[in-house]
């Protein structure tokens, strides 16, 4: 039988290939992110000096929501056409396969977010010096968000129109990521050392990598019963 790592790699490349055919699916959350970011200056004030104060929070709320939106397509297609079932029945470790799917999903949604994040931060008045912090925190934070989100997505597999329910389940667990991501951005904007919240984000990402696939696999198996 194929060793788990190789099977995981196959699933990863499959998901990436499929995603390139359905590029709309990948671009939508990013456009959503841009639009939400724009809402803040419209709703609060166009003055950069005022926006700078809310920039960390606004940036991260937008990132959180767009990541939530993107999670809808993590398992959806594979659940519909029975591929997920095949994964579960294949005798391979479902945990590894789901980790691979989540990794592919992150490459398609989280990583682009880490690229767009600095642009959004600058647009909201953050100084250029804060850009590395934004890139680092969004990269790590989005890993954690994708993993946490995979649990919520797996739990709501069998539920029709599960968008709101999935958000309701995922957001509470995503709150710590928001807290520390915003904190890191805030410290960076002030020019202070932001390593503490960054480490905590890293810890959450690591926790996610180890535990989320376990929970997601359990949830997927239950949904497929």
Partner 1 sequence: MDWTWFHRLASPPYIYGLARRLVPWFAWPSALLIVAASVWGLGIAPADYQQGDGFRIIYVHAPTAWLSLLVYVTMGVAAGVGLIWRMKVAHALAASAAPIGASFTLCALITGSIWGGPMWGTYWEWDPRITFELLQLFLYLGYMALRASIDDTQRADRTSAVLAVVGVVNVPIVHFSVIWWNSLHQAPSVMKLGQWAMPVSMYGPMFVMLGGFTLLFLALTLTRLQAEVLARERAASWIRDAVGTNLKAVNT
Binding site for partner 1 (CB under 8 A): 151, 155-156, 158-159, 162, 165, 168-169, 171-173, 175, 215, 218-219, 222-223, 225
Buried residues in 56-76 as b, exposed as e (16+ CB within 10 A): bbbbbbbbbbbbbbbbbbbbe
Q: Nearer to partner 1 by C-beta: 122 or 169?
A: 169
Q: How many CB atoms lie within 10 A of CB 9?
A: 15
How is residue 79 written in tokens?
């659940």
User: Rounded to the nearest whole angstrom, what is the least distance from the CB of residue 101 to partner 1 in the complex?
Assistant: 17
Q: How far is CA 123 from CA 9, 24, 34, 51, 175, in A?
A: 37, 25, 10, 9, 24
User: Rounded to the nearest whole angstrom, what is the least distance from the CB of residue 216 to partner 1 in the complex?
Assistant: 9
Alpha carbon distance 53, 167 (integer Å): 27
User: Rounded to the nearest whole angstrom, what is the least distance from the CB of residue 23 to partner 1 in the complex?
Assistant: 31
Q: How many CB atoms lie within 10 A of CB 50?
A: 14
Q: Nearer to partner 1 by C-beta: 129 or 222?
A: 222
User: Rounded to the nearest whole angstrom, what is the least distance from the CB of residue 15 to partner 1 in the complex?
Assistant: 23
How is residue 22 written in tokens?
């359905």
Q: Nearer to partner 1 by C-beta: 5 or 89?
A: 89
User: Rounded to the nearest whole angstrom, what is the least distance from the CB of residue 148 to partner 1 in the complex?
Assistant: 9
Q: Nearer to partner 1 by C-beta: 87 or 173?
A: 173
Q: Nearer to partner 1 by C-beta: 35 or 207?
A: 207
């Amino acid at each position: 039988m194929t060793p788990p790592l190789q099977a995981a790699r196959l699933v990863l490349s499959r998901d990436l290939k499929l995603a390139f055919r359905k590029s709309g699916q990948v671009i939508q959350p990013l456009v959503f992110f841009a639009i939400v970011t724009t809402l803040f200056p419209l709703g609060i004030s166009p003055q950069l000096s005022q926006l700078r104060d809310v920039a960390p929070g606004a940036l991260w709320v937008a990132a959180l929501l767009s990541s939530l939106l993107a999670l809808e397509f993590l398992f959806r297609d594979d659940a519909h056409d029975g591929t997920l079932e095949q994964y579960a029945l294949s005798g391979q470790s479902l945990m590894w396969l789901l980790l691979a799917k989540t990794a592919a999903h992150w490459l398609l949604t989280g990583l682009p977010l880490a690229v767009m994040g600095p642009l959004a931060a600058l647009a909201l008045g953050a100084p250029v010096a804060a850009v590395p912090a934004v890139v680092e925190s969004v990269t790590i934070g989005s890993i954690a968000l994708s993993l946490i989100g995979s649990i919520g997505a797996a739990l709501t597999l069998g539920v029709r129109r599960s968008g709101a329910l999935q958000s309701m389940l995922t957001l509470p667990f995503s709150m710590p990521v928001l807290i520390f991501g915003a904190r890191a951005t805030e410290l960076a904007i002030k020019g202070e050392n932001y390593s503490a919240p960054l480490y905590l984000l890293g810890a959450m990402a690591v926790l996610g990598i180890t535990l989320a696939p376990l929970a997601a696999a359990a949830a997927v198996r239950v949904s497929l019963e």
